[in-house]
Chains A and B, each alone.
Chain A
Amino acid sequence: MDHSFRSDAPLYPQIAAWLKRAIVDGAFPAGERLPSIRELALRLSVTPNTLQRALQLLESEGLIYTERTNGKFVTGDGARLAKLREELLRGQVRTLADDLRRCGYTKEEVIVCLAAEWEK
């Protein structure tokens, strides 16, 4: 999994976004244990404190939970995961749509192009 974070904005929300994406793409499957904070921090080259703060954000959003001695797990709640999937899609499409609209493309042009790319 590739990652690079912008340093002109707080890191922990970017790490949280990276973790969410990893949950959606199946790298961290539903109901399974996450790697330890230490391991994730090393993998992402950030401090354990920053990683911890990102995990707290995910926990507050109900995407992960802590088992006292076993570590942190991805939620098994299908409805919550479906919502996350939806949020990720909307977020990505919004960014794309905003950018292309600014460049003057029409909705029809974009949809035709997207459909063609999808088939490749």
Chain B
Amino acid sequence: MSGCGMGEMTMAVSARGLAASYGKRDALRGVSLDAPSGSITALCGANGSGKTTLCKVLAGLIQPRRGEARILGRTDTWAAKADVCYHSARPFFEPGQSVLGLARETARLRARYDLPLCQALLERFAIPGDERLGALSKGRLALAMFCVSLAQDARVYLLDEPFGGIDLKTRDQMREALLARVDEGRAFLVCTHELGEMEGLFDRLVVLREGKTICEGWADDLREEHGCSLADLLRGFL
């Protein structure tokens, strides 16, 4: 790529030939990808294609059977966890805990956490900090979790389906919040099915099918090469 070569970029996340399984079922069968610092990568693929498993491997929660994952150059992805924000699509939470209570607890557990940012985000999305997590609707719970995650001061963000179940207008605001969080020291990997409404948000696209990387590249290069939007490109792969 002419204007945006990878040579000078720091690779925040890289994977080569990753394989992982749950018992006898192979979830990953050869995933390779690169996510440079300062960039947002969309991780796409049909349900069951391995996106969540990949996030868990990168977060150090699942041991790969084969291949290598590096976070900020380190192969021990669990040891790198202080620099990693893992945002699960199915988070565990205590229904009686308040939103801000969760943020404070996260702040205590993390080396670096931006509590004022979390409060500002919650305010922007009109989520009262004292609201109990168990009392929130599905969409607003996802939104609250997104605010808590984004306020982590990490260098790698693994966001699994942050936009699922969220209305269009709120999604636009989430996109703004995410873009405002990007800087040279941070890399974002975002699992999403909402590519069509989010085209401008992504620098790179990675597509998984049946546990393998079948497409990876810079968004604008892919648009140029295939003469279509990322969403249409993805549609052709599914």
CA distance A42 to B173 in the complex (A): 11
CB-nearest residue of chain A relative to B220?
Answer: A10
Residues of B within 8 A of A10 (CB): 220-221, 223-224
Q: How far is the CB of B94 from chain A (nearest CB, A)?
A: 35
B39 in the interface (beta carbon within 8 A)? yes
B227 and A12: CB pair below 8 A?
A: no
- Secondary structure at chain A's binding surface: helix, strand, loop or mixed? helix
A97 in the interface (beta carbon within 8 A)? no
A48 in the interface (beta carbon within 8 A)? yes
Contact residue among A5, A12, A47, A53 (Cβ-Cβ distance under 8 Å from B182): A47
Contact residue among B180, B200, B224 (Cβ-Cβ distance under 8 Å from A50): B200
Interface string of B11-49 (1 = CB under 8 A from A): 000000000000000000000000000111000000000
CA distance A42 to B178 in the complex (A): 10
B230 and A7: CB pair below 8 A?
A: yes
Q: How far is the CB of A51 from chain B (nearest CB, A)?
A: 10
CB-nearest residue of chain B relative to A46?
Answer: B200
Residues of A within 8 A of B224 (CB): 9-10
CA distance A7 to B228 in the complex (A): 7
A41 in the interface (beta carbon within 8 A)? yes
CA distance A7 to B231 in the complex (A): 9
Residues of A within 8 A of B201 (CB): 45-47
B39 and A49: CB pair below 8 A?
A: yes
A81 in the interface (beta carbon within 8 A)? no
B220 and A8: CB pair below 8 A?
A: no
Residues of B within 8 A of A42 (CB): 176, 179-180
CA distance A48 to B39 in the complex (A): 8
CA distance A55 to B34 in the complex (A): 24
B203 and A49: CB pair below 8 A?
A: yes
Residues of B within 8 A of A48 (CB): 38, 179, 182-183
In the complex, chain B residues 104-156 whose Cβ is within 8 Å of any chain A Cβ: none
CA distance A56 to B232 in the complex (A): 28
Closest 5 CB pairs of A and B: A10-B220, A7-B229, A7-B199, A46-B200, A53-B3
Which residues of B line the A interface, CB within 8 A? 3-4, 38-40, 175-176, 179-180, 182-183, 196, 199-203, 219-221, 223-224, 227-232
17 A-B pairs whose Cβ atoms sit less than 8 Å apart in the complex: A8-B232, A9-B224, A10-B223, A10-B224, A12-B3, A12-B220, A41-B182, A45-B200, A47-B40, A47-B179, A47-B200, A47-B202, A48-B183, A49-B4, A49-B39, A50-B200, A53-B3
